[in-house]
Each structure stands twice: as C-alpha cells, then as structure tokens.
Amino acid sequence: MSVNREISGEIVLKVDNLCKSFGKHEILSNVSFTVKKGEVIAIIGPSGCGKSTLIRTLNLLEAPTGGHIWFHDKDLTQASRKEISKIIPKIGMVFQQFNLFNNLTVRRNITMAPVLHGIMSKEEADDWATGMLDRIGLREQADKYPSQLSGGQKQRVAIVRTMAMNPEIILFDEPTSALDPEMVYEVLSLVRELADSGMTMMLVTHEMKFARNASSRVFFVHDRNIQEDGTPEQVFDNPRNQRLREFLMRVSCK
C-alpha cells in the first residue's frame, strides 16, 4: 500500500549510539540509525517512550548526553556554534503545539527566518509566502495573527514556515495530536503531499493508518531504544517484537 519512493543511497542523517538522560532519568540509550535522502520514517511507540525526545535531540533542542549525530559529513555533537547555526536551518521542525510566533502575522511568520538568513530577499519571501498560502487555501489569512486561525490552519502555516527555509529533512513532532478530529485530515494531507514530493521526513505520530500509508519505514521505540525498524508491511503485518505486538493490539482496539 505504501508509495513507491525514489530513495537514493545518499545518507542525510547518521545517528550513532545516541544517549539522552534528564538527570538520573535515562530516556534514550545507544540509539543508532541512518536516514537516506527521500525516506519518510514514521516513529511509533507508547506514550512517554522517548519518541519526541529522540527527534528533539536530532536538531539539538535537547542536548545529547552521549553519542554522535552526523548531518552529511558534519558531527553536530562536535561542531562549533557557527557550524551548528549553518546546519540547523537545514533540519526543519514542526511542533505539536504549532509554535507560530504570536506577535507576527501569518506572512511574517513564514518570511522572517529566510529573510534574516539571507536565503530570500523580503520581496521574494513575500511572493513565495503568498504563493504557498494560495496553494494551501490560506491566502486570505496572510495578514492575520495566529490567534485568529484554527488549529489546522496554524499547523499548515507552521509547515509552510518550515519549508520556507528549504530544509533537507523535516522532523514532525506529533503534528496532529493537538488538533480537533475534524482538522486532522487537512494537516495530514499536506504532510502526505510533502512526502510524495520526495521530502526526507521523520514523523512521530499516533495516526497508525497514516504511518502505514505514507511512510517508507517505521521505527517502534520502546524501552529507551528502537526495538523494531522495517517497512510498514513488516512492522504492522508481521511484528516480531512482543511489545510491538501488544502495542499494536492496544492501538487497534481503541
């Protein structure tokens, strides 16, 4: 059922023995994996298992307590501040709570970072934003403030904001968990569209159907590590791990 994707051999992200603890509490222990260009990786697992922490560590929102994160040939855990500031914009992130800038209009939310980084001029950015908002049907909202939008609209703007930086990979941290049910669809279709366009993505989600249909690869995270790593068919139809089986049972019973 999953889409045939063109996945090149180029490695975008390589994670090596990543560890993360908060004080004495260990969340991730020796996690290792690679992400190739064009892959769409769904990350599933029970609540509180460290899925969010995993992807928040990848763009250094949480500082890793051990291991390495390679972005192409640069080790983020060893890079200088200056190098990091060049790499982070290449790793986009979409948050559960949208985190649009409350004091800026929709348009400024999208254009601010690329203009500050010199990726686009102000005019180019405005035109680009207008075009994108038009595509997602939010052109009318361009000059409104985030408080005037619905949750679904906010999240779609947040996705466009991330895309404006022209990232090589986008991390989604439960992008639909804070939405009312009727808004989940509009956000997921945009995510799906993005996936189909060949964007490399990692997606923490509780939408099992979506994970199965849209992803090229699935991680099951449990007990501080990735317990199962395979295609959607392998993970959902033929789970080997006992905990994964239990987890899938519980999810489908809901």
Partner 1 sequence: MTAESLAAALRRLSAVFILVFCSGCLSGCGGKDTGCDASSLETIHTCRVGVQVGTTSDTGVTELFKSKSAEGMIERFNTSPDAVTALRQNKLDLVVVDEMPAKEFVSQSPELEILDYEFARERYAGIVALQNQELLQKINDALKTAQERGIIDKLKETYIFKSGDYHYIPEQNGSETIVMATNAQFPPYEYYDGNRMRGFEIELAYAVADIMGKKLKIDDIEFDSIINAVSSGKADFSFSGFSETEERKKFINFTLPLIDSGISIVVRKDGEHGSGLSFSEKFHANFIEQERWKYLAGGLGITLIVAFFSTLIGITGGFLLAVVRVVHHRTGRLGLLNFIVRLYINIVRGTPVMIQLLIIYYVIFASVDVSKILVAVAAFGLNSMAYTAEIIRAGINAVDPGQFEAGKSLGLSDRSIYRYIIMPQALKNVLPALANEGISLLKETSISGYIGLIDLTRGGVIIRSLTYEAFMPLMAVALIYLCIIGIMSYGVSVLERRLKKNER
**Which positions lie near partner 1, rule CB under 8 A?**
59, 61, 85-86, 88-89, 91-93, 95, 97, 99-105, 112-113, 116-117, 145-147, 158, 161-162, 165
Cβ closest to partner 1, residue 7 vs residue 60: 60
Cβ closest to partner 1, residue 163 vs residue 244: 163
Taken in order 115, 120, 125, 128, is the CA torsion positive or negative?
A: negative
Cβ closest to partner 1, residue 93 vs residue 248: 93
Q: What is the DSSP annotation of the chain?
A: -PPP----S-EEEEEEEEEEEETTEEEEEEEEEEEETT-EEEEE-STTSSHHHHHHHHTTSS--SEEEEEETTEETTT--HHHHHHHGGGEEEE-TT----TTS-HHHHHHHHHHHHTSS-HHHHHHHHHHHHHHTT-GGGTTS-GGGS-HHHHHHHHHHHHHTT--SEEEEESTTTTS-HHHHHHHHHHHHHHHHTT-EEEEE-S-HHHHHHH-SEEEEEETTEEEEEE-HIIIIIS--SHHHHHHHHHHHH-
**Nearest distance in Å: CB 241, partner 1:** 31
In one letter, which amino acid is 197?
A: S
Cβ closest to partner 1, residue 161 vs residue 217: 161
Cβ closest to partner 1, residue 94 vs residue 221: 94
How many CA atoms lie within 13 Å of 38's alpha carbon, on the beta-carbon side?
A: 11
Cβ closest to partner 1, residue 140 vs residue 237: 140
**Nearest distance in Å: CB 64, partner 1:** 15
**Nearest distance in Å: CB 114, partner 1:** 9
**Nearest distance in Å: CB 29, partner 1:** 24
**Nearest distance in Å: CB 102, partner 1:** 5
**Nearest distance in Å: CB 229, partner 1:** 25
Cβ closest to partner 1, residue 53 vs residue 105: 105
Tokens of 47: 């609540």
**Nearest distance in Å: CB 85, partner 1:** 6
Assess contact for 49 and 222: CB atoms under 8 A. yes
